[in-house]
Amino acid sequence: MVKVADIERALEPTWCPGCGNHMMWKALKEVIEESGMGFEDYAMVWGIGCHGNGADFYRSQGFHGLHGRALPVATGIALSNPSLKVIVSMGDGDGYGIGGNHFIHSVRRNIDMMAIYHNNQIYGLTTGQASPTSDQFMQTPSTPGGVVEEPVNPVGVAIAQGATFVARGFAGDVDHLKSLYRQALDHHGFSLVDVYQPCVTWNKINTFKWFRDRVYKLEELDGYDPSDRTMAFETSMSTFHELTCAPDECKVPIGVFYREEETFTYQDGLPQLDRPMWKHAEEPRDISEILETY
Ligand SMILES: Cc1ncc(C[n+]2csc(CCOP(=O)(O)OP(=O)(O)O)c2C)c(N)n1
Ligand code: SF4
């Protein structure tokens, strides 16, 4: 069984002091330890960005993919070895921008994997340009006159697209985030955890304080039913925040928006996965005769 200390590499994280990535790192390491998995039980995949630098800070088998392409790589891993739990780490620019198409199709295919989005509403690594989740009117180096368009609402998109597990967390509440990670890891199907992860260097609007003044937990809401897709979608839309809103005007829900217990995954629909490729590889073939010919 993997321990937190086994996951940590000799290399210390290079994220800015106070960055939400540190809290997400802590939460995920602890949940992996608590899950009882061994290194042979899971694989991790990263996109490109500050979040993706996590590839250097978690010891695991896995792959550091191209910008926006973590999900296709993760899909390949999940289908070639269905016994692995695949954990994918992406950024908002990475996963909802350049990788937006993969996001939609991974959701509708219900590929059994856990997808974590480090949503800091900015391009962190490339010094603060607007991302698909930056709030409308936000000024950034790439939008000096303010962002013109509406942001992507990843939770709403996923629910509308038939997702079977959709949650939103906040890096400033590690215990709550851990509970979401645990549920996502246990889910049979595509589990999305969108995490508000303040970038303390480039996003001076959506700060830890900004969120602390606004977040509330869905599980504490009277009558909230995460098995009701319509309720989940309406909640994701009605509370979709805007940069300009005051704490008493807008609230940001965190928690499990939607969960379907009995799900049919992409893997379930592929009978050939009963004879996965990696199992053939377990029986080594003698190729000395072939080598003789060279
Ligand atoms: C195809 C491609 N386009 C652009 C880049 C440059 N690039 C590297 S990281 C990044 C943005 C990262 O932002 P985000 O995904 O939000 O992650 P964060 O750094 O905030 O964690 C960009 C545009 C790239 N590496 N590859
Ligand atoms: S630039 Fe932002 S997202 Fe990147 S490490 Fe620093 S605080 Fe974190």
| Residue 106 CB-density burial (10 A; 0-12 exposed, 13-18 middle, 19+ buried) | buried
Give residue 175's pLDDT band: very low, low, confident or very high (50, 70, 90): very high
Q: Which whole number is the average pLDDT over 253-261?
A: 97
81 vs 173: which has the higher pLDDT = 173
Residue 286 pLDDT exceeds 90: no
For residue 107, what are its two tokens?
A: 């959701």
Q: Check pocket membership of 131 for ligand 2, CB cut-off 6 A.
A: no
The residue contributing the CA closest to ligand 1 atom 11 is: 123
115 alpha carbon to ligand 1 midpoint, in Å? 17
pLDDT at 220: 95
For residue 280, pLDDT beyond 80: no
Atom of ligand 2 nearest to the CA of 14: 5
pLDDT classification of 271: cutoffs 50, 70, 90? confident
Cα of 22 vs centre of ligand 2, distance in Å, is 10
- Best residue among 129, 197, 200 to mutate for probing ligand 2, ranked by most atoms within 8 Å of CB: 200
Q: For ligand 1, what atom is nearest to the CA of residue 95?
A: 15
Helix, strand, coil percentages in the chain from 3-state DSSP, rounded to 5:
40, 20, 45
pLDDT at residue 26, rounded to an integer: 98
Please enumerate in sequence order all residues whose Cβ is within 8 A of that of 283, keeping only pairs 6 or more positions apart, or say none. none
Kindly report the protein residue whose alpha carbon is nearest to atom 2 of ligand 2: 199
Is residue 251 predicted with pLDDT exceeding 80? yes
Confidence at 57, pLDDT banded by 50, 70, 90: very high
pLDDT at 195 over 70: yes
Closest CA to 115 of 105, 125, 103: 103
Nearest Cα neighbor of 195 from 104, 261, 118 is 118
In this predicted structure, the answer to whether residue 118 has a pLDDT above a threshold of 90 is yes
User: Which is the closest atom of ligand 1 to the Cα of 92?
Assistant: 16
- Residue 119's pLDDT band (cuts 50, 70, 90): very high
Decide: 99 in ligand 1 pocket, CB within 6 A.
no
Q: 136 pLDDT band (50/70/90 cuts)?
A: very high
Any idea which ligand is nearest the CA of 22?
2
The answer to whether residue 241 scores a pLDDT higher than 80 is no
The DSSP call for residue 132 is T
pLDDT band at 243 (very low <50, low <70, confident <90, very high): low
Percent of the chain with pLDDT over 70: 96
Residue bearing the CA closest to ligand 1, atom 20: 124
- Report yes or no: 115 and 51 within 8 Å, Cβ to Cβ: no
- pLDDT score, position 277: 63
pLDDT at position 291 over 80: yes
Whether 283 shows a pLDDT value over 80: the answer reads no
Give the residue, by CA position, lying nearest to ligand 1 atom 9: 49
Spatial contact of 150 and 236, defined as CB atoms under 8 Å apart: no
| Mean pLDDT calculated for residue range 154-172 | 98
| Predicted pLDDT of residue 13 | 96
Mean pLDDT of the 233-255 span: 85
Distance between Cα 27 and ligand 1 center (Å): 23
Q: Whose C-alpha lies nearest to ligand 1, atom 25?
A: 67
Whether pLDDT at 281 is above 70: no
Q: For residue 276, what pLDDT band results from cuts at 50, 70 and 90?
A: low
Pocket lining: 48 vs ligand 1, CB cutoff 6 Å: yes
CA of 56 to the centre of ligand 1 (A): 17
198 ligand 1 Cβ < 6 A: no
* Whole-number average pLDDT of the chain: 94
- What distance in Å separates the CA atoms of residue 53 and residue 13, rounded to the nearest whole number? 8
Phi-psi region of 180 (alpha: psi -120 to 50; beta: other; left: phi over 0): alpha
pLDDT (tens digit, 9 = 90+) per residue, 3-23?
Answer: 999 999 888 999 999 999 999
Q: What is the pTM of this model?
A: 0.94
